[in-house]
């Protein structure tokens, strides 16, 4: 065999799997169809979206908050060309970093589309159509996902756009219509709202970020209305057309009442679907289950030497979930017994304030008939939050009614994305709310809200409220 392990796809699932395989002594290859490594996350996902979120946050702070801090400046203006260029530079640093890691770990990189000839042979076609073949003992499929289009309105990539184009706009839209009030809709919607666009979100369900705890969606609605975002919740889109420089959307609510919106761009962010086109799965007898590659608890497909990880299999479509799965598969191949606790994969939305969550939601606990108690604490009661003027948000803790074990941590507020790691750690070690409430938390910090919410859950006795 030429390789012990071949990884198809170089996103966070694939490149992490390849590195761990190489660390464990396997001769490893990675195949990527694009010229740069890093997949959706580094090229058109996590990293560029956070770069624009950060830039637009600086802008809105300079425009709306500097004055109160005692900093007088000329009214700032948006230079979208520079903002997009900086984002491109950030992406380049990150993708170059992955190329360096491949070299450092002596992983062979093959650029081209990989497809199965049989379970041990993979064909690679590069962009000039040149074909090569490699043989391999084991394969890890990590081909990721692509944006889902509306069934009745394809992406024209000019006016009806996905997140990929929304990260490359040459102008700030006058009116950006966003279909889907999930993670992408709220993150990229808030970028352009901060930069001065009118942003209208049309969401099918009655709440934003509907897979997260309901309290978070309600709070997010309030805070994003403050930056001017408008919402039509509980609305089903019935038509979407692009006419020259205009997009026209029609939608109706549950009672059949219709609305019509006109904008210059429409971001369709209604979820992503696994990507397996051109992989030749039929050659190895793998059939998809609702678009995903079926795997067992060890991420093995029905073919003994072939594994699949990340967005292309069941579970949350998150970079860190894909990474954990990459490590797990590599370690299993080396005879180790790794384990992933999927309940404790945190979810984050990088709006401002940020939203972060781990464990069960209150809705899930109700549905499961689990007896629970809650404790919450608002940011506005924190000295740290008042000092930075980031007073929007709250921490909500869910704990088992009799044992006090923490069952869920839900935060909306400044720095929530980093704070959630403490919630994950507490839950991984099966801490009770009282355990956390008795740990010293530095003052003044945002984390004090977690301690106070735990005090509220344990004995209804927060100190500062």
Show which residues are catalytic: 443
**Positions in the binding site for ligand NAI (CB under 6 A):** 179-185, 187, 202-205, 210, 237, 269-272, 316-318, 348-350
Helix (H, G, I), strand (E, B) or coil at 1: coil
Rounded CA separation 75/59 (Å): 10
Which ranges constitute the DSSP H helices of 369-409? 383-388
Q: Are 309 and 13 in contact (CB under 8 A)?
A: yes
Residues 6+ apart with CB under 8 A from 60: 194, 227
The secondary structure element, H or E, covering residue 216 is helix 214-226
Handedness of CA 131, 132, 137, 140 (dihedral sign): negative
- Contacts to ligand FAD from residues 25-44, by CB under 6 A: 31-34, 39-41
| Residues 328-367 as x/- pattern, contact with ligand FAD by CB under 6 A | ----------------------x-----------------
With respect to ligand NAI, which residue has the nearer C-beta, 355 or 382? 355
Rounded CA separation 381/174 (Å): 37
If contact means CB under 5 to 8 A according to the sort of partner, which of ligand NAI, ligand FAD, none does residue 180 touch? ligand NAI
Q: How far is the CB of 401 from ligand NAI (least distance, A)?
A: 30
**Residue from 13, 185, 408, 423 binding ligand FAD (CB under 6 A):** 13
Q: Are 372 and 365 in contact (CB under 8 A)?
A: yes
Which ranges constitute the DSSP H helices of 264-411? 319-333, 362-368, 383-388
If contact means CB under 5 to 8 A according to the sort of partner, which of ligand NAI, ligand FAD, none does residue 210 touch? ligand NAI
Q: How far is the CB of 283 from ligand NAI (least distance, A)?
A: 29
| Residues 65-104 as x/- pattern, contact with ligand FAD by CB under 6 A | ----------------------------------------
Stretch that binds ligand FAD, among 8-16, 79-87, 196-204, 283-291 (CB under 6 A): 8-16
Q: How far is the CB of 308 from ligand FAD (least distance, A)?
A: 9
Q: Write out the E strands in 51-150.
A: 108-111, 113-118, 121-125, 131-141, 145-147
Q: Does 163 bind ligand FAD (CB under 6 A)?
A: yes
Q: Does 322 bind ligand FAD (CB under 6 A)?
A: yes
The secondary structure element, H or E, covering residue 43 is helix 39-44
**Residue from 178, 319, 355, 416 binding ligand FAD (CB under 6 A):** 319
């Amino acid at each position: 065999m030429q390789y012990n392990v071949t990884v198809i796809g170089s996103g966070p699932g694939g490149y992490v799997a390849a590195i761990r395989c190489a660390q464990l002594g396997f001769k490893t290859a990675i195949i990527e169809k694009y010229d740069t490594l890093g997949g959706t996350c580094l090229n058109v996902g996590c990293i560029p979206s956070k770069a624009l979120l950060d830039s637009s946050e600086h802008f809105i702070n300079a425009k709306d908050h500097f004055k109160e801090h005692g900093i007088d400046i000329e009214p700032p203006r948006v230079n979208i060309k520079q903002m997009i260029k900086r984002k491109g530079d950030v992406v380049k640093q990150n993708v170059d970093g992955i190329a360096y890691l491949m070299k450092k770990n002596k992983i062979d990189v093959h650029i081209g589309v990989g497809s199965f000839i049989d379970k041990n042979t993979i064909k690679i076609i590069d962009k000039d159509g040149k074909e090569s073949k490699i043989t391999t003992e084991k394969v890890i499929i990590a081909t990721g996902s692509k944006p889902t289009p509306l069934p009745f309105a394809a992406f024209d990539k000019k006016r009806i756009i996905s997140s990929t184009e929304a990260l490359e706009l040459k102008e700030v839209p006058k009116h950006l219509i966003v279909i889907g009030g999930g993670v992408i809709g709220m993150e990229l919607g808030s970028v352009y709202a901060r930069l001065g666009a009118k942003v209208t979100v049309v969401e099918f369900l009655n709440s934003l970020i509907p897979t997260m705890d309901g309290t978070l969606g309600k709070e997010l609605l309030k805070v994003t209305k403050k930056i001017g975002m408008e919402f039509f919740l509980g609305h089903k889109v019935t038509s979407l057309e692009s006419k020259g420089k205009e997009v026209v959307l029609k939608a109706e609510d549950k009672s059949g009442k219709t609305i019509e919106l006109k904008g210059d761009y429409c971001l369709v962010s209604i979820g992503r679907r696994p990507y397996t086109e051109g992989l030749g799965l039929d050659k190895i007898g793998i059939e998809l289950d609702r678009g995903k590659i079926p795997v067992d608890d060890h991420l093995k497909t029905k073919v003994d030497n072939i594994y699949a990880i990340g967005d292309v299999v069941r579970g949350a479509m998150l970079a860190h979930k894909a990474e954990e799965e990459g490590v797990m598969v590599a370690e299993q191949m080396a005879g180790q017994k790794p384990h992933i606790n999927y309940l404790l994969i945190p979810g984050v939305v990088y709006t401002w304030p940020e939203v972060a969550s781990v464990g069960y939601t209150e809705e899930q606990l109700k549905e499961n008939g689990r007896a629970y108690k809650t404790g919450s604490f608002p940011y506005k009661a924190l000295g740290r939050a008042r000092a930075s003027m980031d007073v929007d948000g709250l921490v909500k803790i869910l704990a088992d009614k009799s044992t006090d074990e923490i069952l869920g941590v839900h935060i909306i507020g400044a720095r929530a994305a980093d704070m959630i790691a403490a919630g994950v750690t507490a839950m991984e070690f099966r801490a009770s709310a009282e355990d956390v409430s008795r740990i010293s938390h530095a003052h003044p910090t945002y984390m004090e809200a977690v301690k106070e919410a735990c005090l509220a859950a344990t004995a209804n006795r927060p100190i500062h409220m």
